[in-house]
Amino acid sequence: MSDARAASGGWVWRAAKWAWGHVALLLIVGTFALATLSVARRTFVAPSISTGTGQLPALPPDAIVIRIAHWQLEAGFRDAVDALAKDYREKVNPKVFVIQNAIPEGIYGQWCCSQLLGGTAPDIMAPGLGLQWPIWVAYMNRYFIPLGERIKEANPHNKGSDLEGVPLFKTYNDSMRAGYVEDLRSYYGVPLYSMAVRLFYNEDLLKKLTGADRPPADYREFLALCDRISAQRDPNGLPYVAIVGSNYHAGMWEGGLYNPLTWTAIGKADINRDGYVSADEFFLARKLGLINFEDPAIHGRLKVMTEVVKRFQPGWLGLGRDEGVFLFAQQRAVFIPTGTWDAHSLQEQGSGQFKVKVMPFPYPSKSDPEYGSLAVAPPYDRPNNTLGFAITRGSKHPDIAFDFLRFMASQKGNQKFNDIVGWIPAVLGTKPPEFLEGFKPQYAGQYGIFTPALGGQTDVLWNQKSQLLQIGSLSVEEFLKQYGGAYGPAGQADFDEMQRNAVRSRRSGEQYLACLRHDALAATGADGALARYQYVQSTASRQMSPVIEQNRVERLAGGADPAPTTAPYDYSPELLARVRSHLKSQP
C-alpha cells in the first residue's frame, strides 16, 4: 500500500514538476483554448437574447434574428418597433424576429463603444448619443455600412401608395437629409421621425384653476393665467405651480420664446448680410458700435426670460428632469415645456386622471404694450428629422436589416410607427397623431440673432450672470451692467481663440480632404462625378473661402478696414445713388 501511495505521490509530484517547468506554455495554451471556445460559441451557438423589456421570445431554429439598439425608453417606442416587427414577419418575411436592446441614455455611449469594438454590435443601431460627434463619425466610417445607391432605389413597401416607385430618399419630407453624414459624404441613417419642442399642459387643471377652456392666445394672456394659477393652493395647502422648471426644462424656452424676440435687431448685426448672425458676428457688430446690449430686442429678450422663470416653482435651478416631470404628473403644475419624445410618456402619466394637451410657446401679440414691436411674426419652428438608424458592418443579415428599416420608413409603416409612439412622422403623405396637432410647423417666422457665448470665457460669464438674473438676484439693468462690462474683454479673448481655431481647423482639414480626394478618385460613373463635385465644394468651403473670410473679419476687427457707417441693412447714400441709377435705366 505504502509503495502504491509512494508511486501515486511520485506521479503527482512528477506532473507538478512538469507543470512548473511548462507553466508559461500551459498559461498560453489555456488562454488560447478559452479564447477559441468563446469565439466558437459566438460563431456557432445562437446568441443569448435580451430585449429591452426583458421578454425572451421562443425562436424557431431557422429564425433570422435582427437586433436593434437604441436609447428610447420613452413610452410607446418599444411597442412601436415590436408592432412593426410583427407586421414585417407576417407580411414580408416570416423568419425575421426583431429583438430590441433598449439602453439607458447614461450608458448608451459606453455600451455602443464596447459592442462595436468587441464585434458584438447589433445589426441596427441608432448613432448619435453618448459620444462626441467626431467619435461617432469615426465609428460610422469603420463599423457601419454606407447606404450608397440603396437610397436611390424605390421603397418596395410603398407599393400601392402614392410613393410607389419613388426613390427612397425622395419619400422623405426633407429628401432624407437627416440621414446624410456630411463628414463622410454619405447616407448612413434611415430616419423615422421628427423632433420638436412645445408647451404641454394639463387641460383639466387649467380649467379648474382658471376657468379657461382653451390655451392662452398670446404671451400676455399666458402670464395672466399663470398668476391666477400661482395664487391658488391645493388641498394640502401647497401653492400650485404655473410652469414646471428644472435645469432640463428651462432651456426649452430659448428657441420657443426668448431668442426669436431678438430677430428684429438682425439689420444691425448681420454684418455679412447672409440672413444669420453668428456669435462672433454679434461680437464684432457690438465692437463696431452697430448694436449694444441696451437694444430693445436684447433687453426685451432678457426681460421676458425673467418674467417666465418667475412662474417656475421655487428652487427649480437645482432640480433635474425627473423632478420636473414628477411635479406635472402629481397635478401640481399646469404647464411643462418639452419635446415630442416626451409626448406619449406625459399622456400615460395623465391617463385616467387628467388630459394632456399641447400648444405653441406663448408669443407676444403685435398689440402687446411692451413687446409688440419685437413680435413681427411667430417664431420659426420646423421639426427636424433625426439621423435614425444605421446598419452595422458586423450584421449577418445587412440586406434584411435594411429592408426592415425600409419597412418602417414606408408611408404606411412610418404612419403606424409614429401613431403608436405618438411622434411626428418623417415620410411624405403621413400626418402627426391628433394629439400633436399643436406641433404644426411654423415657417416664415422669427429666429434668434443673439448667441451669448463665443467660447469658454463668454460661456462661463453668461452662465454665471444669467443664473443670477433668473433667480432674481440681478435686475435686467444690473445684469446688463455686469454682463455688458465683462463681455468686451471675455468676448475679445474668445474671438481671438476662434480665429486661431479656424487656422488650426484648416490644418487638420487637410487629411480629411486627402481621404475625400482618394474616395472621389476611386469612384466611377455617376457616383464618381458626384463625389468629385462634392470634394471640390468641401475643399473650397474648408480651405479657400475661410482664408478670405478670416482676413475680412480680422481687418474689420483690428481696424485695418474702416467700420461701416451705416447698419448692415440700412442703405447708404452711395447705395441709394446706385438704386436711382438702376431705376432710371429700367424701362
CB of 488 to other proteins, least distance (A): 19
CB of 35 to other proteins, least distance (A): 13
Query: From the list 91, 95, 431, 555, which residue makes contact with other proteins (rule: CB under 8 A)?
Result: 555
Q: Is residue 379 within 8 Å of residue 447, measured between CB atoms?
A: yes
Closest CA to 335 of 256, 263, 437, 259: 256
CB of 215 to other proteins, least distance (A): 24
193 sits in which H/E element: strand 193-195
Closest CA to 306 of 257, 358, 235: 257
Question: Is residue 504 close enough to count as binding other proteins by CB under 8 A?
Answer: yes
Task: Give the C-alpha separation, 137 to 211, whole Å.
Answer: 52
CB of 532 to other proteins, least distance (A): 6
Who's near 553: CB < 8 A, 6+ residues apart?
280, 284, 499
Site residues for other proteins, window 265-324 (CB under 8 A)?
266, 273-276
Query: From the list 443, 524, 565, 573, which residue makes contact with other proteins (rule: CB under 8 A)?
Result: 443
Would you say 95 or 555 has its CB closer to other proteins?
555
Would you say 172 or 312 has its CB closer to other proteins?
172
Site residues for other proteins, window 146-185 (CB under 8 A)?
152, 167, 169, 175, 184
Query: From the list 166, 499, 542, 556, which residue makes contact with other proteins (rule: CB under 8 A)?
Result: 499
CB of 410 to other proteins, least distance (A): 20
Query: From the list 100, 194, 446, 470, which residue makes contact with other proteins (rule: CB under 8 A)?
Result: 446
CA 361 to chain centre: 19
Query: From the list 15, 25, 33, 37, which residue makes contact with other proteins (rule: CB under 8 A)?
Result: 25
Of 295-303, 307-315, 472-480, 514-522, the window that binds other proteins (rule: CB under 8 A) is: 514-522
Question: Is residue 482 close enough to count as binding other proteins by CB under 8 A?
Answer: no
Report how many residues bind other proteins under the rule CB under 8 A: 78
Closest CA to 295 of 373, 230, 231, 226: 373
Of 71-79, 216-224, 473-481, 513-521, the window that binds other proteins (rule: CB under 8 A) is: 513-521
Backbone angles phi, psi at 357, to 5 degrees: -125, 170
Question: Is residue 431 close enough to count as binding other proteins by CB under 8 A?
Answer: no
Question: Is residue 503 close enough to count as binding other proteins by CB under 8 A?
Answer: yes
Would you say 24 or 58 has its CB closer to other proteins?
24
CB of 146 to other proteins, least distance (A): 12
Question: Is residue 489 close enough to count as binding other proteins by CB under 8 A?
Answer: no
Q: Beta-carbon neighbour count of residue 456 at 10 Å?
A: 12
Please state, in angstroms and as integers, the Cα–Cα distance from residue 324 to each residue in 236, 327, 387, 421, 578, following that order.
19, 5, 28, 22, 58
Question: Is residue 194 close enough to count as binding other proteins by CB under 8 A?
Answer: no
Site residues for other proteins, window 527-546 (CB under 8 A)?
529-530, 532-534, 536-537, 539-540, 543-545
Question: Is residue 582 close enough to count as binding other proteins by CB under 8 A?
Answer: yes
Who's near 455: CB < 8 A, 6+ residues apart?
493, 494, 495, 497, 498
CB of 191 to other proteins, least distance (A): 15
Question: Is residue 580 close enough to count as binding other proteins by CB under 8 A?
Answer: yes
Task: Give the C-alpha separation, 529 to 533, whole Å.
Answer: 6
Number of H helices, E strands in the chain: 20, 13
Q: Is residue 422 within 8 Å of residue 436, measured between CB atoms?
A: yes
Q: Is residue 349 within 8 Å of residue 328, measured between CB atoms?
A: yes
What are the beta bridge partners of residue 424? 194
Q: Beta-carbon neighbour count of residue 22 at 10 Å?
A: 12
Closest CA to 391 of 144, 80, 23, 58: 144
Would you say 266 or 346 has its CB closer to other proteins?
266
Task: Give the C-alpha separation, 124 to 395, whole Å.
Answer: 8
Query: From the list 372, 447, 459, 466, which residue makes contact with other proteins (rule: CB under 8 A)?
Result: 447
Categorise residue 571: left if φ over 0, alpha if ψ from -120 to 50, beta otherwise.
Answer: beta
Collapse the DSSP code of 199 into the 3-class scheme (helix H, G, I; strand E, B; otherwise coil) and give the result. strand
Query: From the list 48, 434, 444, 565, which residue makes contact with other proteins (rule: CB under 8 A)?
Result: 444
Site residues for other proteins, window 353-412 (CB under 8 A)?
376-377, 380, 382
